[in-house]
Chains A and B, each alone.
Chain A
Amino acid sequence: MTKLLEWVSVLSAMFAVWYSLIGGYVKHPLIEKNINLILISPLIFIALFGLYAVTVVLYRVFTFNNCEEAAKELQNEIAEARKDLLDKGLKF
């Protein structure tokens, strides 16, 4: 099964549940009391997920390791390499 099909099947299962609740196919006092909330629940869900995504991405951007050490080490090694290679007769 492709990832696309996986998404389609999970999303349609969720849609089916939601639709049966708002369509009155399932009857329960709790459902009737919260019908407005159920109606907009997909929107709430999307908004919450969007918030989660933005938070995670921004957190990872700000904690993205800046390899100052590695950069410095590389600069030193470049200098060392150039010197050694010149000694070995390399013409840059």
Chain B
Amino acid sequence: MAATIYDSEITKSDKYSILLPTYNERENLPIIIWLIMKYLDNSGYDFEVIIIDDGSPDGTLDVAKQLQNIYGSSKILLRPREKKLGLGTAYVHGMKHATGNFIIIMDSDLSHHPKFIPQFIELQQEQDYDLVSGTRYKDGGGVYGWDFKRKLISRGANFITQLLLRPGASDLTGSFRLYKKDVLQKLIDSCVSKGYVFQMEMIIRARQFEFTIGEVPITFVDRVYGESKLGGSEIVQFAKALLYLFATT
């Protein structure tokens, strides 16, 4: 995207808003916050963490409040919602309250490690990328805790998607990414799918708008606490989204 004349002045006051959607992440939330502080507090980057909890019955919000007391309400912002309204709208909701000019999206289940955030930021700055995506599929990246079947599904789906859509990014369903705020806004506005395939549509739309995409290899450690929900319905959802994007973009 064309750079505006203000870009060079704004970089001095870059701010990163980290959106953390949570649903039943009582165990994970304190750890992820602690890790974010560990890797960002001394980095000199200006940042805030926005926790969007959807009325988790396990009391995630209560833990979030304690964390806010510990780390301060300028670093930790709580923007809860009454009930579970889904991941896509959680991002929209969080972004409305974000004061940064960059948005970082990540899962709060510890599968996305905050140690990669400084790498995302550095890469973005080097090339002025519109978005930087974490990737499990490139050298240096990888997964932990996946059996043969899950790897096969993942690699197979990725192969077919690369073949049909040529997206210009290697990890389409991952959701550990850094966006320029206006870029994310535009992508969200143009996306129609719901659920987890939303991540895939976002990156395909990014290609459509000719946004520039950088990639950082990440190690993805499957959630330690809580349950995973990967099932047959996800595969069907994925296939539908793939065909839809194949025919329309």
Interface residues of A (CB under 8 A from B): 2-4, 7, 53, 56-57, 60-61, 64-71, 74, 77-78, 81-82, 84-85, 88-92
Contacts and interface: CB of A to CB of B under 8 A. Distances in A.
Task: Identify the 3 closest CB pairs spanning chains A and B, nearest first.
Answer: A65-B142, A70-B219, A67-B219
Contacts of B220: 67
28 contacts: A2-B247, A3-B166, A3-B247, A53-B159, A56-B159, A57-B152, A57-B159, A61-B151, A61-B152, A64-B143, A64-B146, A64-B151, A65-B141, A65-B142, A66-B142, A66-B143, A67-B220, A67-B221, A68-B144, A70-B113, A77-B35, A78-B31, A81-B30, A81-B31, A81-B35, A90-B67, A90-B70, A91-B66
A70 B117 CA distance: 15
B217 to A, nearest CB: 9
A85 B143 contact: no
Contacts, number: 89
A61 B152 CA distance: 6
B172 to A, nearest CB: 14
Contact of B156 (A57, A67, A81, A88): A57
A91 B65 CA distance: 11
A69 B31 CA distance: 18
A85 B34 contact: yes
A78 to B, nearest CB: 5
B249 A3 contact: yes
Contacts of A70: 113, 142, 144, 219, 221
A41 to B, nearest CB: 21
Contacts of B110: 74, 78
Contacts of B247: 2-4
B143 A67 contact: yes
Interface in B84-115: 110, 113
Interface in B119-166: 137, 140-146, 148, 151-152, 155-156, 159, 164-166
Given A90-B67, A91-B66, A64 B246 contact: no
Contacts of A3: 164-166, 245-247, 249
Contacts of A92: 26-27, 30, 63
Contacts of A69: 219
B233 interface: no
A60 B144 contact: no
